[in-house]
Each structure stands twice: as C-alpha cells, then as structure tokens.
Amino acid sequence: MEEYDLIVIGAGSGLDVASAFASRGKSVAVVEPGPLGGTCLNRGCIPSKMLIHRADIVKEIQDSERFGIEASVEDIKYEKIVEEVNEEVKQDSQNIEEGIRKSSQHTLYRTEAEFIDNETLEVDGEKITADKIVVAAGTRPFIPPIDGIEEVDYLTSKEALELTDRPDDMIMIGGGYISNELAHFFEAMDVDVTILQRGDRMLKHEDREIGEKYTELVEDRFNVKLETEASKVYEEDGRVTVVADGEEYEADELFIATGRVPNTDNLKVENTDIETDERGFIEVDEYMNTSVDHIYALGDIIGDHPFKHAANEEAKVALINAFVGNKKEIDYTAMPHAVFSSPQIAGVGQTEQELEDGEYVKASYRYENTGMGMALKEEDGFVKLLASEEGEILGCHIMGPHSSQQIHEVLVAMKSGSGNVSDIQDTIHIHPALNEVVQRAFNQL
C-alpha cells in the first residue's frame, strides 16, 4: 500500500492544498478522474463566462440604435465560438496536468477514489493512505425523476457548454443561475429559449425584489413559464417534447438545470465515520475538519457556499489546519455571489425576505439617476441596501451593468471596514463613475 503525507480527492481548489504541501517537500497524491482544474475551469464559471462575453457583445450591438448608432450583427460563427472557448479551457486543463506530472512530489491518479475506511482509499484496485486527506470532489447535476427522462437525450451544463451544433430552439427546466446565464448566451446566439420554472419567479434565492424585476425583464427575451413543473418527456424525429401541467413544449434540445448533488456516494463515504447531512453533503466544522480528525473537506461537496471564491478561501483554511493543526477558522463574512445574466446581478448578506421578521431599514437608488447611468441609458438597474437601525450593513443587492464589480466596495466595507453604512457614505467617489449609484443608495440612509 502506497503511503503519502497528503491525499487530495478532486483537482479543483483542492489543488491549492496539494501544491502547498508539495512545495514544502511533502508527498502528495491527487485523485481526479476528469479533466484537471475542477468544475469551474472545465464545465462552469470559466467557459460559461467566455461564452457569455460573446453574448454581451451581440446584445450591445443589437442595442446600439438607442444611442444613435446604426449597427447590426451580420453573422454569428457559433461553432467557431464554442470550439475556441473549449479549446482554451482544454489547454489550461492540460497545462495543469502537465505541471503535476512533472512534479517529483505529486502522484496523479486519473481515476475514481473510494473509501475503504477512515485511513484507506482504493484507486484503480490499488490501496493508498495518508496522514491527511482532503475531500474536494465537488458535485454533479441533479436529474429530476421525470417520466421518460432516461429515454431522451438531454443536456446538463457540461454538454451545453460544448454544444457545437446550434439548435433552433431549446427548453430549459429550472430557473436558477445556471439556466439564466446560459439562456442569455443561447438567445443571443439566435436560439429560441423556453424556461420552465417551478417557482413564482426566476432566481428564487435572490432578494425577492431583484428576482421579480429580473423575471419581468427576461420575459421579453425568453418564453418563461412560471409555476410550471415537467412531468413527462419524450423524443420523436429528433425533437424532444416536455409535458408540463397539461401543456406540451417541443424543441431541438432539452437542458436540465435543477440543482446539483454531492459526489459523496461515488466516494463511498459510508465506509467511513465522515458525517453527512440529509442531502449527502459532508459536514465540516469551522476548521474545515470533518468528523474524522485527519480528513478535511472543502468546496461544493460541503454544500455551504457553492462558489469558486468560497472554495478558494476554504482551501486556504484547510491547508493551514491540515499542515499545522486546527489554528485558523473559516470566516464567511461578506461572502458574495454574482449571476452573469443580462441584466447582471450581484449580492451579499441577507435578503429582505430573510429579514422580514426582524428590525431593519432599507434604501435603494436607480442607475438612471446617476451621470453614468444616464450615459448608459440604464432604465432598470438599481442598488438595494438593507441595514440595521444602527447602520450595520446587513445585505446589499444590485441588478444592472457591472454588478459583479459594483458590489466589491460593499464587500470591503463589510469585511475590512467597520461594516457600517458610513464606510461607503464617507468615501469620496469619482464623479460620474458608475459606483456613484452605490454611494447614493447608502446616502439614502
């Protein structure tokens, strides 16, 4: 049986821990059956944002007439776009793998891992063990138990990002961030998109006011069916039909985006003393430690904050604690998120529906009432602030251009400042930069 100082299961953010151990002369085993780089690089945030940027360009050209500019999109080289993006992603993944294979401290196992017990893993029929183990094996798409789903060809986020044949139309089941980001891309690529959403609005985890306004806006671009649940699917003559609440919807492609499930079952964690919640996500403490002393876990597989930036922070904490003992606690203060849809959305902290039973004050400000907002002709974007009566920032939610950047001064105030609205109010903002809309929202209090 091979013995290592560290075993890392999953080659996403877990590689940060592996590389740090290896750089200190420790022996490290990395177990990963798929392309290296994890979900983010290979089938998530990186390829999707590269594709979405192309969609943003298309929509800006199509919107140019509002600014007195006559322009049109003459041709979209869809296949070239998808192939170019995926080739770049593939090359990055191969570079990571090449670097690991050249390292004398790393051993790479390109296979699945299964726990035999708390100390031992089986990889390709071989048993390995280590002083420390980090589980960063991620999640996979959840496929709902729809009648006929196993008999039809459908896309998940992985296949959708690699789809080189542009369909005429597409049905998306699910109204979360994955479907809305890719709906923006495909619609811009001249694909008719229908979204079937069980809830009463899109992006149900966003602040309700944001979600309701977003839903209103995208109904002009997509065929949105709210409070609609698919019960049956079937395929005929190369077309897929979805039956939902007595209605039938037909398209070239079916895209499933109904959440994700952890890969703990594939790892056979039931053979260990690792505790999981009722959904199968691994439970960890503030040190990223599982219920087994020498095993740590991070990333999507723990189910707390399914964002790459969260996993990177968790990797820092797991590294320190796995290397020198439990000394550092994870701090999720001001954990942000963004949805790279159109319009773009970003948020941090609590939503108004989460605060409804408590005491809070709120304020908002519209993009169009700032100098740069007027220049952009931005009629729908706004910043919403939620705070305590004493001025503590409880949450901030933004919908509009560059939301994912606009949110950052709020993050700094919450994380490194006093966390009070005065941190933003008392900061001089460039006029007429777009960030004035954030300042003015805070000035309302």
Long-range own/partner contacts, residues 410-416 (CB < 8 A, 24 or more apart)? 410/334, 410/348, 410/438, 411/334, 411/336, 411/348, 414/333, 414/334, 414/348, 414/349, 415/333, 415/334
Rounded to an integer, what distance in angstroms lies between the CA atom of residue 397 and that of residue 407?
A: 8
Q: Are 123 and 113 in contact (CB under 8 A)?
A: yes
Q: Is 431 a catalytic residue?
A: yes
Q: Are 138 and 44 in contact (CB under 8 A)?
A: no
Q: Are 214 and 203 in contact (CB under 8 A)?
A: yes
* Token output for 220: 């002009």
Rounded to an integer, what distance in angstroms lies between the CA atom of residue 237 and that of residue 106?
A: 50
Rounded to 10 degrees, the C-alpha dihedral 321/327/330/334 comes to: -140
**Which residues does the annotation mark as catalytic?**
431
